[in-house]
Structure 1
Amino acid sequence: MPLPKTAHTSLPWRIHELTDDFELEDVWALPTPGGPDDLPRLVQLIAAHNDPSQFSPSYRILFAIRWKLGALLGWDKQDTGIAGRVPSLRDRLPADLRDAPPGPEFQSLPFHSVYQTHDEWAAEIANSTVHSIMHIGWVPNETGGYRGQMAVLVKPNGLFGRLYMAAILPLRRLLVYPALMRAMARTWQTLPT
Structure 2
Amino acid sequence: MRIAKSEHTARPWRIHEITRDFTLEDVWRLPTPGGPDGLQLFVADVTGTTDPSVNWAWPARALWKLRWKLGAWFGWDDPEHGLKARVPTLRDRLPDDLRDGPSGPEFAGLPFAPLYQLHDEWAAEMANRTVHGVMHIGWVPDGDGRYHAQMAVLVRPNGFFGRLYMAAIAPFRYWIVYPQLMRAMEREWRAVADGAPA
Q: TM-score, normalised by structure 1?
A: 0.96
Looking at structure 1, the residues matched to 96 and 20 of structure 2 have their Cα atoms a distance apart, in angstroms, of 19
Looking at structure 1, the residues matched to 8 and 141 of structure 2 have their Cα atoms a distance apart, in angstroms, of 13
Q: 1:28 maps to which residue?
A: 28
CA displacement at 1:51 relative to structure 2: 6.6
Which runs of 4 or more aligned residues in structure 1 lie more than 4 Å from their structure 2 counterparts after TM superposition? none
Contact 2:53–2:65 (CA under 8 A) maintained in structure 1 = no
Matches within 5 A, 1:1-16: 1-16=1-16
Q: 2:38 maps to which residue?
A: 38
Structure 1's 154 and 189: CA in aligned 2 closer, same or farther, altered over 3 A? same
Looking at structure 2, the residues matched to 131 and 10 of structure 1 have their Cα atoms a distance apart, in angstroms, of 23
Looking at structure 2, the residues matched to 143 and 61 of structure 1 have their Cα atoms a distance apart, in angstroms, of 41
The code of the aligned residue for 2:124 comes to A
Does residue 112 (structure 1) correspond to residue 105 (structure 2)? The answer is no
CA displacement at 1:42 relative to structure 2: 1.1
Does residue 91 (structure 1) correspond to residue 92 (structure 2)? The answer is yes
1:71-122 alpha-carbon deviations (Å, 9 max, x no partner):
0000000110101100000000000000012111112211000001110000
The code of the aligned residue for 1:40 comes to Q
Contact 2:105–2:114 (CA under 8 A) maintained in structure 1 = yes
CA displacement at 1:140 relative to structure 2: 1.2
Structure 1's 51 and 72: CA in aligned 2 closer, same or farther, altered over 3 A? closer
Looking at structure 1, the residues matched to 57 and 144 of structure 2 have their Cα atoms a distance apart, in angstroms, of 30
The code of the aligned residue for 2:140 comes to V
Aligned length: 193
RMSD: 1.3
Looking at structure 1, the residues matched to 69 and 123 of structure 2 have their Cα atoms a distance apart, in angstroms, of 27
Q: 1:69 maps to which residue?
A: 70
Moved more, 155-164 or 176-185: 176-185
1:41-70 alpha-carbon deviations (Å, 9 max, x no partner):
111112112373421100100000000000
Q: TM-score, normalised by structure 2?
A: 0.94
Q: 1:156 maps to which residue?
A: 157
Looking at structure 2, the residues matched to 142 and 3 of structure 1 have their Cα atoms a distance apart, in angstroms, of 18
Looking at structure 2, the residues matched to 71 and 164 of structure 1 have their Cα atoms a distance apart, in angstroms, of 16
Structure 1's 71 and 143: CA in aligned 2 closer, same or farther, altered over 3 A? farther
Matches within 5 A, 1:41-190: 41-49=41-49, 50=51, 52-141=53-142, 144-190=145-191
Looking at structure 1, the residues matched to 14 and 7 of structure 2 have their Cα atoms a distance apart, in angstroms, of 15
1:117-167 alpha-carbon deviations (Å, 9 max, x no partner):
110000000000000000000001266510000000000000000000001
Unaligned 5+ runs, structure 2:
none
Secondary structure at 1:76's aligned position in 2? coil
